[in-house]
Amino acid sequence: MLRTCAKRLRTLGSPLGQPGAQRRSFSSEKFIHKDYALPNPSWSKDLRLLFDQFMKKCEDGSWKRLPSYRQNFPEKIQEFQTLYLDSSLAKGEQHAQQFPRSLDVGLGFEYVMFCNDVERKVLCFLQVGPHLQGTPGFVHGGAIATMIDSTTGMCAFRAGGIVMTANLNINFRSPIPLCSVVVVDSQLDKVEGRKVFVSCNVRSVDKKTLHSEATGLFIKLDPDKSLKK
């Protein structure tokens, strides 16, 4: 698996595999966004197949592919700061990046999410790159938690708007081989006032191996309470 992974990365070549390549340049006049939830040469056959399969499911409108960017749109940052931060604390954070998109292409998290708002589900097809190693040959638990948080967070966001993770409970059942592809499957359980409950499992592509199970509690942010920095 690792050898295949290294081979795919070599084919990426320059400039994609180089540190700093594909960085977005920021200026208030021109903000370039690249959608990273689309196939690139680092994607394995498994990831590509899942992507193609779900793009077909999008044709009747039941499923939607969710685009994914490294940086938030400036107007969204502004809106968030205006609503939830004490104005005296609000600072421009134009150079901040979304953590799961901050590693170079093919080395970290390669993923695409699809949602089904009727079934209240978000699925993430994830290829775990060689820079996410924990125990030799396997993915770091924190990297798995990151993608569980992101996927369940997206599921909660689609139901409740702007939310933050209040509690995340994960059982790691079997290790994930580095460079493999897994499916993070999240389901909205219930919404109680500002509390959004989501559950999730992580399985191998053939569904035979259960890697992790999790539950998350997300809280819808209250515009009357400012977040402290």
Ligand X SMILES: CCCCCCCC(=O)SCCNC(=O)CCNC(=O)[C@H](O)C(C)(C)COP(=O)(O)OP(=O)(O)OC[C@H]1O[C@@H](n2cnc3c(N)ncnc32)[C@H](O)[C@@H]1OP(=O)(O)O
Binder of ligand X out of 32, 96, 164, 210 (CB under 6 A): 164
Q: How far is the CB of 165 from ligand X (least distance, A)?
A: 4
Q: Which of 48, 70, 195, 215 binds ligand X (CB under 6 A)?
A: 195
149 binding ligand X? (CB under 6 A): yes
Question: DSSP letter at 175?
Answer: P
Please choose, out of 37-45, 111-119, 176-184, 220-228, the segment that lies near ligand X by the rule CB under 6 A: 220-228
- CA 100 to CA 147: how far, in whole Å? 8
Contact between 211 and 200 under an 8 Å Cβ cutoff? The reply is no
- Give the three-class secondary structure for 136: coil
117 is catalytic: no
Nearest to 172 by CA among 205, 189, 147, 192: 147
Identify whether the C-beta of residue 9 lies closer than 8 Å to the C-beta of residue 106. yes
**Binding of ligand X at residue 157 (CB under 6 A)?**
yes
Nearer to ligand X, 136 or 193 (CB): 193
Give the number of other CB atoms < 10 A from CB of residue 138: 17
Contact residues toward ligand X (CB under 6 A) are 149-150, 153-154, 157, 164-167, 193-195, 217, 219, 221-222, 225
Residues noted as catalytic: 149
